[in-house]
Amino acid sequence: MTPLLQELKTFWRDRQSEVNARFKRTLPFGDYVVDRWEKARQLGFGEGTSIYDNSVVLGDVEVGNNTWIGPGTLLDGSGGLKIGSNCSISAGVQIYSHDTVKKNISGGVAPIERARTTIGSDCYIGPNVVIAKGVTIGDKVIVGANSLVLTDIPTGAKAFGTPCRIVGTSENYGA
């Protein structure tokens, strides 16, 4: 084993033990090395926003203040993506602003389609949600886990499902 590999293993073991003792969790290697808030600042995201190291960010992505972007997320800004402030983008969420459907079914003749995708402020996007290109989600929206969002969701809605549909309002959530 090379000295560098040994140092990395020792670093990983020490950090893993420290984080597990403090928070009762274990993380991918990169998340022991990369500061989530620093990564968000380097990406130009708002104050207090954090993004896990194992998240993928492509293209033009804007994120407001105090937004948490969970592990294993994909933020596709190739057609423009804006996420507001005070949001929770849960683990495994995929947000797209392009697709290649027409390009592929045309044998590569049609262009890649792109459309800006927008998520308002004060939103909760549950784990493993997929949001298609061009969708607009208003402020104070709850999208339930494992939903496929193909159409716009207005401000104050609670929605879930595949395809996603509005099932109520977010104003009395938990009441």
Cα-based distances in Å from 46 to 30, 33, 111, 139, 155: 22, 21, 33, 17, 22
Is residue 74 domain-shared with residue 152, that is, in the same domain? yes
Gap between the Cα atoms of 15 and 18, Å rounded: 5
Q: What is the pLDDT of residue 16?
A: 94
Q: Does residue 99 sit within a domain?
A: yes
pLDDT digits over 19-52, tens only?
999 999 888 888 899 999 999 999 999 999 999 9
Is residue 16 domain-shared with residue 53, that is, in the same domain? no
Is residue 103 domain-shared with residue 21, that is, in the same domain? no
Return all residues near 107 (Cβ < 8 A) that are at least 6 apart.
none
**pTM of the predicted structure, to 2 decimals:** 0.92
pLDDT digits over 115-169, tens only?
999 999 999 999 999 999 999 999 999 999 999 999 999 999 999 999 999 999 9
Q: Which residue has tokens 């993380």?
A: 27
Q: Does residue 28 sit within a domain?
A: yes
Surface-to-core class of residue 127, CB atoms within 10 Å of its CB (0-12 exposed, 13-18 middle, 19+ buried): middle
pLDDT digits over 88-110, tens only?
999 999 999 999 999 999 999 99
Is residue 91 domain-shared with residue 23, that is, in the same domain? no
Q: Does residue 54 sit within a domain?
A: yes
Long-range Cβ pairs for the range 24-31 (8 Å, 24+): 27/71, 28/53, 28/54, 28/71, 30/54, 31/71
Number of domains in the chain: 2
3-class SS at 94?
strand
Q: What is the pLDDT of residue 71?
A: 96
Q: What is the pLDDT of residue 174?
A: 59
pLDDT of 57 higher than 70: yes
Q: What is the pLDDT of residue 27?
A: 87
Domain that holds residue 6: 1-33
Q: What is the pLDDT of residue 157?
A: 97
Residue 18 Ramachandran class (φ > 0 left, ψ -120 to 50 alpha, else beta) = alpha
Q: What is the DSSP letter of 39?
A: H
Q: What is the pLDDT of residue 171?
A: 85
Q: Which residue has tokens 């797209």?
A: 96
Torsion of CA 158, 161, 164, 169, to 10 degrees: -10
Return all residues near 51 (Cβ < 8 A) that are at least 6 apart.
36, 39, 40, 43, 45, 57, 63, 69, 73
Q: What is the mean pLDDT of residues 77-96?
A: 98
Q: What is the pLDDT of residue 152?
A: 98
Q: Does residue 60 sit within a domain?
A: yes
Is residue 18 domain-shared with residue 60, that is, in the same domain? no
